């Protein structure tokens, strides 16, 4: 320890969590061991602690030289001690070390990790907390995790998606919906650098989308395809060990154990993947995406094939990850799932049909309405509702059931009730009509279908 601001060592992978007063603080990071580690300042976000990890890195393309530097670094042995010092002298000096020293951040060669404190201690959140430390970058508050601008992908004459633009903030769960063949999976593959866009641009985790930046981007994201794609002759642990190696995790045992714990598969770690059910394989796939501590997770139908209990566990995990600040890009056909989990949704049908919060989409697409149920049908509803000023329009929704278009349900409901009671009508119920995300989805997709018909 140098002084009170030093909090741990990276190679020991110790995490020391010290609460930071809410507010923004400038933090100074200093390396006392490796000359290659630069001094960098990061912003600490309110209620959060920023952590860092560094490791020596040689820019030499010759593998031997890089090995030599690693070897020398390991001989020095003392790891990297970092002092975190709040510029604001009135605040106590606090900091936290990153749990992972393995990932190499490109510019600068220092990694910051955000560990949210004071979380709601729900079980899913707690499980997620053990496995994520989301990379933060200078000014992350102002940046978006994903920025997509006029992105188009064509395969010959076929257009997968066209002129799609949206952005996703850090820590947001973003639902990406659309019918089969709408281009959702192609979008995920494009943003995951698996395929090249035909035109347009995007930024993924702060890095411009390009083939040259592919490795850098893939280091910061994790993609769970619809089919988990496991090696069936290997055990669950062996599958995860393989991917841990591909992500360059040197001490992967803990992360593997945590990832399996997060999807409740700890007791199946030694089972061959070939012996697992589809649902369990899906959970192994999900555990695999958690391994690399990603800033953005692309989940393609994560609950496909899962039973309701397992689906609920995945939902809780996603909620927990969101609370950790992990950005989640969720493609799903389950609209109830999207409505429950997503902060915002986008509906794609080759072109982007809409994007926004579900409540906003409802308001955009549907006029506000009241549903009125009465004991006996009205003799002349046209004449009756015409006398109520707040009712703009009405339609029948079955015997004794009416849907009234109104501008403000809170004003209209008492007035309609009074009118009905005054007319001697027995009112069974009256309430605002709730449009689900499914209604929004079907409305938009039906428009497309209608537009295509001659």
- Residues near other proteins (CB under 8 A): 61, 63, 67, 152, 154-156, 186, 189, 192-196, 198-199, 215, 218-219, 221-225, 227-234, 238, 242-248, 250, 285, 288, 292
Tell me how far apart the 2 most distant CA atoms of the chain are, in Å: 92
How many C-beta atoms surround the C-beta of residue 103 within 10 A?
A: 18
Q: How far is the CB of 399 from other proteins (least distance, A)?
A: 53
Q: How far is the CB of 298 from other proteins (least distance, A)?
A: 8
Q: How far is the CB of 228 from other proteins (least distance, A)?
A: 7
| Closest to other proteins by CB, 151 or 346 | 151
- Tokens, residue 13: 């992978």
| Closest to other proteins by CB, 233 or 434 | 233
| Closest to other proteins by CB, 232 or 309 | 232
d(C-alpha 313, C-alpha 319), whole Å? 10
Sign of the torsion formed by the C-alpha atoms of 175, 177, 180 and 186 = negative
d(C-alpha 316, C-alpha 17), whole Å? 24
| Closest to other proteins by CB, 29 or 256 | 256
Q: How far is the CB of 62 from other proteins (least distance, A)?
A: 9
- Non-local (6+) Cβ contacts of 29 within 8 A are 39, 40, 41, 42, 52, 54, 82, 83, 84, 110
Kindly compute the dihedral angle of the four CA atoms of residues 409, 415, 421, 424, in this order, to the nearest 10 degrees: -110
Pairing mode, strands 221-224 and 296-300: parallel
In contact, 274 and 232? CB cutoff 8 Å = yes
Quick one: how many helices (H) and strands (E) in the chain? 13, 22
| Closest to other proteins by CB, 222 or 280 | 222
Q: How far is the CB of 225 from other proteins (least distance, A)?
A: 5
Q: How far is the CB of 264 from other proteins (least distance, A)?
A: 21
Helix (H, G, I), strand (E, B) or coil at 74: helix
| Closest to other proteins by CB, 141 or 278 | 278
d(C-alpha 289, C-alpha 311), whole Å? 17
Cis ω on the peptide bond leading into residue 108 (within 30° of 0)?
Answer: yes
| Closest to other proteins by CB, 45 or 284 | 284
Q: How far is the CB of 429 from other proteins (least distance, A)?
A: 50
Distance of CA 243 to the CA centre of its chain: 21
| Closest to other proteins by CB, 288 or 344 | 288
Q: How far is the CB of 223 from other proteins (least distance, A)?
A: 4
d(C-alpha 307, C-alpha 131), whole Å? 24
Q: How far is the CB of 292 from other proteins (least distance, A)?
A: 8
| Closest to other proteins by CB, 245 or 389 | 245
In contact, 86 and 23? CB cutoff 8 Å = no
């Amino acid at each position: 320890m140098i002084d009170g601001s030093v909090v741990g060592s990276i190679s020991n992978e110790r995490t020391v969590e010290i609460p930071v007063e809410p507010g923004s603080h400038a933090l100074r990071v200093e390396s006392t061991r490796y000359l290659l580690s630069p001094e960098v300042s990061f912003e600490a976000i309110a209620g959060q602690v920023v952590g860092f990890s560094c490791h020596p890195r040689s820019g030499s393309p010759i593998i031997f030289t890089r090995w030599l530097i690693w070897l020398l670094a390991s001989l020095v042995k003392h790891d990297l001690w970092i002092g975190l010092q709040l510029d604001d002298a009135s605040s106590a000096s606090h900091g936290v070390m990153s749990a992972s020293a393995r990932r190499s951040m490109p510019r600068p060669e220092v990694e910051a990790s955000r560990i949210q404190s004071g979380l709601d201690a729900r079980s899913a959140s707690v499980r997620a907390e053990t496995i994520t430390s989301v990379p933060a970058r200078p000014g992350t508050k102002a940046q978006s995790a994903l920025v997509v601008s006029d992105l188009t992908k064509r395969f010959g004459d076929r257009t997968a998606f066209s002129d799609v633009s949206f952005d996703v903030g850090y820590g947001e769960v973003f639902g990406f919906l659309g019918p089969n063949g709408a281009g959702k999976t192609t979008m995920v593959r494009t943003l995951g650098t698996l395929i090249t866009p035909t035109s347009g641009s995007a930024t993924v985790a702060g890095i411009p989308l390009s083939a040259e930046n592919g490795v850098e981007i893939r280091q910061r994201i994790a993609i769970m395809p619809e089919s988990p794609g496991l090696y069936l002759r290997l055990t669950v642990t062996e599958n995860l060990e393989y991917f841990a190696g591909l992500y360059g995790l040197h001490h992967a045992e803990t992360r593997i154990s945590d990832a399996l714990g997060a999807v409740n598969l700890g007791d199946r770690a030694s089972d061959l993947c070939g012996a697992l059910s589809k649902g369990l394989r899906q959970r192994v796939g999900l555990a695999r995406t958690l391994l690399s501590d990603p800033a953005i997770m692309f989940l393609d139908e994560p609950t496909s094939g899962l039973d309701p209990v397992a689906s609920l566990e995945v939902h809780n995990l996603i909620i927990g990850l969101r609370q950790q600040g992990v950005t989640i890009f969720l493609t799903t056909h389950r609209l109830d799932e999207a409505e429950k989990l997503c902060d915002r949704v986008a509906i794609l049908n080759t072109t982007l049909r809409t994007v926004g919060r579900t409540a906003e989409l409802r308001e955009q697409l549907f006029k506000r309405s009241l549903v009125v149920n009465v004991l006996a049908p009205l003799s002349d509803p046209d004449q009756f509702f015409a006398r109520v000023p707040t009712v703009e329009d009405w339609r029948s929704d079955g015997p004794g059931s009416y849907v009234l278009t109104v501008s403000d349900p809170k004003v209209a409901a008492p007035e309609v009730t009074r009118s009905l009671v005054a007319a001697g009508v027995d009112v069974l119920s009256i309430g605002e009509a709730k449009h689900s995300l499914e209604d929004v989805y079907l409305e938009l997709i039906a428009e497309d279908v209608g537009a295509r018909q001659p």
